[in-house]
Chain A
């Protein structure tokens, strides 16, 4: 018998390559994972055998991820660059997947036409589309595809016992192992175990006449008969799973994942968080949901019984946190480590053969006959049309998901950043990206510079990162406040990580950068703002690494390609035969069990109808709920919600459409009013939660108290607004708010300021900066400093003055010691200091001692966390002494001082006042530093207030500050012996430059207050200018 080519398979291959092959160029780079794999590939391309990578997380080992896909990209990159490598591997993955599904479907259905149908459908299956085009999980795709290739070989080995098949199956298992570690382990459970069951069924079937006669006894007999083959295969594949990526297992044992679990959408309750439900349940299942009854019916037939069990478990596990079942099945630990979407992926892949079967029967088989006889030909056509329409729309929807809801920020041109890092030895320091998304991996792949961050969270090593449920510092704003808190620690003590440069693609982070002492360097031509921090030592040229034995490195470098080579040699001949039909080959054993598609079960059709009906109702209800939630003017709550959402996302036109049309507020005026409000709340806040209390007055007017929670990079803000709403024509509208009418005195005015420019190096040379171009560090003086304890936490407070003639950037680093001079803690001043001081300007300061938050007890992580809060260091011993290191560096930026305290009033524990902006820049965030003094005018404490609104030029802004509640401050040590300025003793400096300092000179600035513990306060003002001009 001459075999004919399977035209379905060939068309599937052509279609798949054309469709996916062209689409990947538009999707792959914006997926979650693809660029991470690219970074790993870059590592292998540069140092194939050295597993240690210095670029991320202050160093990590690439032996923490199976290397085959990365190495393949790396190898191909030597021909045409990294992206060429990635796209080539993606094309290979597509081919492997399509051929894999064909072979798997053929194995399952024993019918080439059905397998062909399944393959064509698999090309467009939404789970594959999602995994490739949205998640970019290349290793996972390669792994599961090769596993599907292995399944027929395993079947044949178990069935026939020919050693050749054992070899081919094991060679393919080895390739699976080296491309993805989770796939073979769970693949064993979910694919191979049921396959073994199926083989046993087939063997049992051969011993009796009908399937019905296959009893448990017969089955058990077959099991004992094949026991040796099963065990030998099982043991050998176990050896391969461990052996092929042995360094991986060794590394997992040496560096167990001891981090706080990172929340993943696949563990959410899909009914509550519908976006997760969409991405991790609805899309991967897609049209399969409709034929679910058929799939279960078929998989629970006797031959496939074990597949039935397997798909059931996968389906249930795939539902994540919707039901408590997955948590109970997996246990707490596994539930929190595994991403559960992979179970849905496997369930959907397992369903593909049966989807093909269903489609075959519907298009040209018994189902068609059944429907046509029962409901008529037109109904059949309509049903077919609906299913096909659903199928196609699912594909379009999935493909366009990345377009409508981009998972990544706009594509960033990396070249200017790469050039910046190559310039002037900038790569001698570590850098950090903010708001880059997964593109940070692409940047890392292009530069040799190192970052403290990284994009492979399993490899994180710094406790500051592993104790937080954040994947990257880079997107910490989306991780709520735990993220911002973690970021703040890196920004406050960057010298610990040699972190000097920050590339910011998100202005949200600007205020915290400024108040932590960073300064803007310049905007690159791609719009990325570069921030730098002065006084950071470069990365040392010898960095620690965790070395592994040489044989492990060689194993890791050679084994993956060796497995591919072996698999190629063993399987190529078979492929040749299969593909090109060069030689007549005996029919493989699994083709001996075809199902006769003669009579479609009427009950299944009925159930499918009912099921589809239920699905349709659920869908309609979902859409209805969606409509209710999104119909912005149906209820006052909706209107308020929509208004605040619109403001949060800066959709001012939409916000204006919710303003009462009878108030005659034209959009031009509305926009103008919006545009003149700047400040922490209106420019740098992200809404976290909103709550409304509605008081109804009559049918058409209500008042609402709106309590909104906002996360800003500096602190969490609770804002209470009172809004009135009225109803016109069944729609609710908001009444506009009043605006501040303050009229500035002058139309045009002038101001003279002293500005500074530092040339850097004056010669155009790549040499080290000439010594005469190096400026003297400005001389600072610590006027007073003491170690105090207030409400349980220790702090160093005091006053620092720039006594030089040039402006200074000030960095204060405090260290606490006990009586035995044992160092207990060290930290830098965060935002309780003016980091930029003009000549002779002074600033109060406070250094908090922040510990690594929640490092002790994982369960104490608060659900909502305030960025302003911090975890104080837990001291094992009592700190009694302190050391203070002050470093000054010349800085010409952020020296705006034209802010005036123009009115102040004291009133029962609160201070009301006005800030007046007398200069030429708009103040975005004013900060007050309030120092407290005792009756002897000795400083006791320093507190701060960020004023929520900005101050425009020549305008006033009022503020309200709550004076600290009662509480005594205990002065522990006020000895100023161990204070050093630029490495020199403070005493010597002060007696040289200011020998006759007027003591207590600032006493005249102290404001008397009524308070049981404090007698005086002093207010200093620091300003952040968002867009200096």
Chain B
């Protein structure tokens, strides 16, 4: 008996479970979807069909990533037809639906698959200018989309085309999650790279990448001048050799070069230039006294030149000074240049006036027709005894104890 009992319990259980299965089956048979297809290509017309068991047609709730809507059904041949609206069926992705039958809600989902066609391509590239040398790069991003503006399936082929100098290259990249992208590294040379892309027969527009030279490397400098006299009236021009980067590309136009000049007194003068085709030139006026210049050029922190030395010869060996008009007018001159010609106008003549040993006033004049005249105005220079020091062209003359009246 004991054995019988143990047999009966599973039997009952099996029986009961059979009921349960039967119950489920019965429900499905009355209400299940007639349509069994769950994958559609985007843009195709989708109609969900259900057997119509009741007089009232329930609404179909359906939603995708863009939003949700309710659809009322049409009764046709004992079936309910629900047409998914275009604005939902033209987006790829999942559509979740649910039949809003209060008693027995049933639900399901549909996958809208992308079309394997390309209608438009969005392309981006940036930055639009990079540096030669292989380390700097720009990124090409291509987004092919179908006619309904859906991204194409993953692993769709995109062909990227590059033209640089005399090479034309093609590379295949695959889309992944909407986009296909590629980092384009620069080459050794500077120049202009044109980039385009193609996918399934559709071509993008043209993009331009400027590949500019990398940072400059050391260079040499030279100087030209009309003569080597320190007349303060000619121009010395410094030029660099063609400045290039380490891969032999000429640096971009406008590169700023500083020329540093150290003179005999170790004072630092400065002139600057910008390159054109790699050559920077810079001008400076001659000194007006004997001097020796050591010149070197720099691109800050990046490159420098050799040092060259220039000598400027003294032009005025001596000059005359005359005191007129109660010593209130001081005439300096004639100031004569290297061929005994009158020095061109504008040579600075400095008059330092001392009261005893203390500097009282400094007056600066420029020469005119070879002479410079100082007039000591009574408002500043009272009737007293002064010491005068005249400086021009690096020469100094001192006149002690001159009385003004």
| Residues on A facing B (Cβ under 8 Å) | 695, 697, 702-705, 722, 724, 738, 740-743, 745-746, 752-754, 756, 771-772, 774-776, 783, 801-803, 805-807, 837-842, 895, 897-906, 916, 918, 954, 956, 958, 992-994, 997-999, 1001-1002, 1004-1008, 1019, 1021
What is the minimal beta-carbon distance from B343 to any residue of chain A, in angstroms?
10
Of B22-30, B81-89, B175-183, B362-370, the one touching chain A = B362-370
B110 within 8 A of A: no
Contact B274 A753 (CB under 8 A): yes
Nearest CB to that of B288 among chain A residues? A903
Chain A residues within an 8 Å CB radius of B267: 904-906, 1007
B201 within 8 A of A: no
Among candidates B234, B254, B300, B303, residue contacting A754 with C-beta atoms closer than 8 Å: B254
Q: Which residue of A lies closest to B275 (CB)?
A: A754
A-B contact pairs, 19 of them (CB 8 A): A702-B379, A738-B365, A741-B346, A745-B344, A754-B275, A772-B207, A803-B215, A805-B252, A805-B254, A838-B256, A918-B235, A992-B136, A997-B302, A998-B301, A1001-B300, A1001-B302, A1002-B298, A1002-B300, A1006-B268
B127 within 8 A of A: yes
Of B301, B304, B367, B377, which one neighbours A801 at CB under 8 angstroms? B301
Q: Does B13 touch A at the CB level, under 8 Å?
A: no
Partner of B298, one of A697, A754, A1004: A1004
B268 touches A1007 (CB 8 A): yes
Going nearest first, the 5 A-B pairs with the smallest beta carbon separation are: A703-B379, A742-B346, A841-B256, A805-B252, A776-B127
Contact B304 A805 (CB under 8 A): no
On whether the beta carbons of B304 and A998 are closer than 8 Å, the reply is yes
Q: At the interface, yes or no: B296 with Cβ under 8 Å from chain A?
A: yes
Instruction: List B residues 238-274 near A (Cβ within 8 Å).
Output: 251-258, 260, 266-274
Interface string of B118-160 (1 = CB under 8 A from A): 0000001111110100011000000000000000000000000
User: Given known contacts A900-B270, A994-B302, is B378 in contact with A918 (CB within 8 Å)?
Assistant: no
Given contacts A754-B276, A903-B287, contact A842 B300 (CB under 8 A): yes
Which A residues touch B269, using CB under 8 A? 900-904
Find out whether the CB atom of B345 lies under 8 angstroms from the CB atom of A741. Answer: yes
In the complex, whether B284 has a CB less than 8 A from a CB of chain A is: yes
Given A704-B379, A1004-B260, A743–B345 Cβ distance below 8 Å? yes
- Inside 8 A of A904's CB, which chain B residues have their CB? 267-269
From B136, B235, B303, contact of A745 by CB (8 A): B235
Quick check: A998 and B302 within 8 Å, CB to CB?
yes
Which listed residue, B215, B284, B298, B346, touches A993 by the CB 8 Å rule? Answer: B215
Q: Which residues of B contact A1002 (CB under 8 A)?
A: 298, 300-301
Q: Which of A776, A1001, A1006, A1008 contacts B301 (CB 8 A)?
A: A1001
Nearest neighbor of B243 in chain A, beta-carbon distance: A840
Report Cα–Cα, A906/B126, bound state, in Å: 51
Contacts of B345 in A (CB 8 A): 741-743
Interchain CA distance A702-B267 in the complex, whole Å: 43
Q: Count how many pairs of residues, one from A and one from B, have CB atoms less than 8 Å apart in the complex.
A: 181
Give the B interface residue count (CB, 8 A): 65
Give the chain A neighbours of B380 by CB distance below 8 A.
703, 705, 722
Q: Could you tell me the distance between the alpha carbons of A900 and B300 in the complex, rounded to whole angstroms?
A: 17
- Contact: B274 with A742, CB < 8 Å? no
Which residues of A sit under 8 angstroms from B213, Cβ to Cβ? 805
A932–B235 alpha-carbon span in the complex (Å): 30
Whether A1019 contacts B270 in the complex (CB less than 8 A), given A783-B301, A840-B302, comes out as: yes
> A807 — nearest CB in chain B belongs to which residue?
B254
CB contact under 8 A between A897 and B274, given known A740-B346, A742-B345, A905-B267:
yes
Residues of B within 8 A of A842 (CB): 300-301
Query: With A805-B131, A898-B283 given, can you name 17 additional A-B contacts, CB distance below 8 Å?
Result: A703-B379, A741-B346, A742-B366, A743-B345, A745-B285, A776-B128, A801-B301, A805-B254, A807-B254, A840-B216, A903-B269, A904-B267, A905-B267, A916-B285, A956-B285, A1002-B301, A1006-B268
Tell me the complex Cα distance, A842–B234, Å.
29
Q: Which residues of A contact B298 (CB under 8 A)?
A: 1001-1002, 1004-1005
Q: A722-B379, A753-B274 are in contact. Are A1004 and B296 (CB under 8 A)?
A: yes
Q: With a CB–CB cut-off of 8 A, which chain B residues contact A906? A: 267
Of all chain B residues, the one with the shortest Cβ separation from A1000 is B301
Q: Does B212 contact A (CB under 8 A)?
A: yes
The docked-state distance in angstroms from the alpha carbon of A842 to that of B302 is 12
* Closest residue on chain A to residue B129 by CB atoms: A776
Tell me whether A958 and B364 are in contact in the complex, defined as CB-CB below 8 angstroms, given that A839-B255, A993-B215, A998-B301 are known contacts: yes
Query: Whole-angstrom distance from the CB of A927 to the nearest CB of chain B?
Result: 15
Q: Which residues of B contact A774 (CB under 8 A)?
A: 128
B233 CB within 8 Å of chain A: yes
Residue B48 interfacial (CB < 8 Å): no
Q: What per-residue 1/0 map shows which CB atoms of B356-399 lie under 8 Å from chain A? A: 00000000111110000000011110000000000000000000
- Asked whether, in the complex, the Cβ of B282 is within 8 Å of the Cβ of A703, the reply is no
Contacts of A775 in B (CB 8 A): 128-129
Roughly how many angstroms separate A753 CA and B377 CA in the complex, as a whole number? Answer: 46
Tell me which residues across on chain A come within 8 A of B212, comparing CB atoms.
Answer: 805
Residues of B near A695 (CB, < 8 A) are: 378-379
CA of A1023 to CA of B271, assembled, Å: 14
Asked if A902 and B299 make an inter-chain contact with CB atoms under 8 angstroms apart, the answer reads no
Q: Which residues of B contact A702 (CB under 8 A)?
A: 379
Of residues B135, B213, B255, which shows the largest number of chain A Cβ atoms within 10 Å of its Cβ? B255
- The answer to whether B129 and A771 touch across the interface, beta carbons within 8 angstroms, is no
Chain A residues near B283 (CB, 8 Å)? 898, 900, 918
Taking CB atoms, residues of chain B closer than 8 Å to A806 are 129, 252, 254
A956 to B344, CA, bound (A): 14
A900-B284, A993-B131 as given contacts; A838 in contact with B366, CB under 8 Å: no
Chain A residue at smallest Cβ distance from B269: A901
Taking the closest CB of chain A, its distance from the CB of B21, in whole angstroms, is: 62
Q: Note all chain B residues with C-beta closer than 8 A to A1019.
A: 270
For the complex, what is the distance from the CA of A809 to the CA of B299, rounded to whole Å? 19
Instruction: Give the chain B neighbours of A772 by CB distance below 8 A.
Output: 125, 128, 207-208
Hey, which chain A residues are within 8 Å of B254, CB to CB?
754, 756, 805-807, 838-839, 895
CB-CB under 8 A for A722 and B377, given A746-B235, A783-B301: yes
Are B378 and A902 in contact, with the CB atoms below 8 A?
no
**The residue from A743, A776, A801, A992 contacting B233, defined by CB atoms under 8 A apart:** A743
Q: How far is the CB of A901 from chain B (nearest CB, A)?
A: 4
Instruction: Determine if B276 and A752 form an interchain contact, defined as CB atoms under 8 angstroms apart.
Output: yes
Cα distance A936–B360 when bound, in Å? 37
Smallest CB gap from B270: residue in A: A901
By a CB distance below 8 angstroms, the chain B residues around A802 are 256
Query: Which residue in A704, A738, A905, A918 is a CB contact (below 8 Å) of B271?
Result: A918
Assess the A724–B302 pair: CB atoms within 8 A: no
Q: CA A232 – CA B385 in complex, angstroms?
A: 91
Cβ-closest chain B residue relative to A960 = B362
Residues of A close to B260: CB separation below 8 A: 1004-1005
